[in-house]
Amino acid sequence: MNVNEVPQDDEGILKAGKTREVCYATDANGNYTQVLSLGWKPKYDAMRQAWEQVNEKTEEIRIQVLQGKLSSIAYYLEKNLMTPALLAQYTGFARWRVKRHLKPAVFKKLKLEVLQKYAEVFNLSVEELKQV
């Protein structure tokens, strides 16, 4: 892409005009150079759709937590775009333990130290972790 072809769509995320993203384009001599872009509408639309899907899935999980089908860990897991395997790495728990802690009956019996580890990973207090 040529320097003068770098998209400058003033949409969505970069709409305030205070933020620009760096793109690489070729200058008149054919050398790559950095060019600031206001954004690109197709990229913005794709990101908006992706976040809508994330928010829908998070809401579905929240409802399941409120219905008593999952523990609140499942909600924060989804909200933070994490998997049980990734959460296991952050907490130091085995993956099977993390999956087990997604069950409300098991979650209610967790010791304070375990809850504190989860709360720390999600940057919450233990009380916040227990709620959605």
pLDDT at 5: 80
pLDDT at 16: 55
Residue-range domain boundaries for the chain: 3-39, 43-129
Residue-wise pLDDT for 1-46, tens only, equals: 888 888 787 765 555 556 778 889 999 999 999 988 877 788 888 9
CA distances from 17 to 23, 43, 45, 49, 62 (A): 16, 16, 17, 22, 34
| The Cα angle at residue 71 between residues 87 and 90, in degrees rounded to 5 | 10
Percent of the chain topping pLDDT 90: 68
CATH topology of domain 43-129: 434 Repressor (Amino-terminal Domain) (1.10.260)
Residue 109 pLDDT exceeds 80 = yes
Residue 104 pLDDT exceeds 90 = yes
